[in-house]
Chains A and B, each alone.
Chain A
Amino acid sequence: DTAVSQTPKYLVTQMGNDKSIKCEQNLGHDTMYWYKQDSKKFLKIMFSYNNKELIINETVPNRFSPKSPDKAHLNLHINSLELGDSAVYFCASSQGDRGLFNQPQHFGDGTRLSIL
């Protein structure tokens, strides 16, 4: 069973459209993340949720809105897609209870978003 699974794996869409990416983890972790990896492979954190509560919100356009219906799911909705949004988006999870803040993150296989 895949520990952190993202859908879709590939997403090709037109500029201006709205799209969503879904993420689910079956590791029983309390904390989930969204990262963006650009064409140079730089990984930057975007958001993090702990038990459905937003705990990290980096400088990301408000066109990006994460939603966590429960601690096993973290979805990312993007409005009015722009060319610069083309990247690979990774979901990750970790055990993030108090006293376990340093637990490693486990990544999904990524969603390759291409904006035409």
Chain B
Amino acid sequence: GQQLNQSPQSMFIQEGEDVSMNCTSSSIFNTWLWYKQDPGEGPVLLIALYKAGELTSNGRLTAQFGITRKDSFLNISASIPSDVGIYFCAGRSGSGTYKYIFGTGTRLKVLA
């Protein structure tokens, strides 16, 4: 099935550092979502984006809907140990469909 490419696949960072990750698609999307999954739990919604160019924040997290509508970015500022987890993007193209395509995930590890 179709998947979105996320980059980087995994990263180790020091506590306090800023983190950036992105998600790219070969087709245009009209909605982007960012989720975080902790071990043993389901993905939890972080940010939803509905318009090209939209920039939305949720605490230390900021996500952007790319102008081309083929990509999205997530930034985490001043990372803390509890930011550890897998971050997924999800995109939806077109109208009249309930289906989101999920990214391959970015595994984040924060070193205290």
Q: Say yes or no: B43 contacts A96, CB within 8 Å.
A: no
Do A56 and B43 touch (CB < 8 A)? no
A107 in contact with B97 given A44-B1, A102-B30 (CB within 8 Å):
no
Bound Cα distance A90, B41 (Å): 10
Expressed in whole angstroms, the minimum distance between the Cβ of B91 and any Cβ of chain A is 10
* Residue A109 is within 8 A (CB to CB) of chain B in the complex: yes
Q: How far is the CA of A90 from the CA of B88 in the complex (A)?
A: 14
| Nearest Cβ on chain A to B72's Cβ, whole angstroms | 14
Q: Which of B12-20, B55-63, B73-81, B98-106 contacts A (4 or more CB under 8 A)?
A: B98-106
Q: Known contacts A58-B1, A102-B30, A104-B48; is A43 also within 8 Å of B43 by CB?
A: yes
Closest chain B residue to A56, Cβ basis: B99
Identify whether the interface residues of B are mostly helix, strand, loop, or mixed. Answer: loop
Interface of A is mostly: strand
Chain B interface residue count, CB cutoff 8 Å, equals 29
Interface residue A105 (Cβ < 8 Å from any Cβ of B): yes
The answer for the CA separation of A84 and B37 in the assembled complex, in Å, is: 23
Select which of A31, A44, A56, A90 is within 8 A of B42 by beta carbon. Answer: A90
A residues apposed to B, CB below 8 Å: 4, 31, 33, 41-45, 48, 50, 55-56, 58-59, 90, 92, 94, 96, 101-102, 104-110
Q: Report B's interface with A, CB cutoff 8 A.
A: 1, 3, 30-31, 33, 35, 37, 40-45, 48, 50, 86, 88, 90, 92, 95-100, 102, 104-105, 107
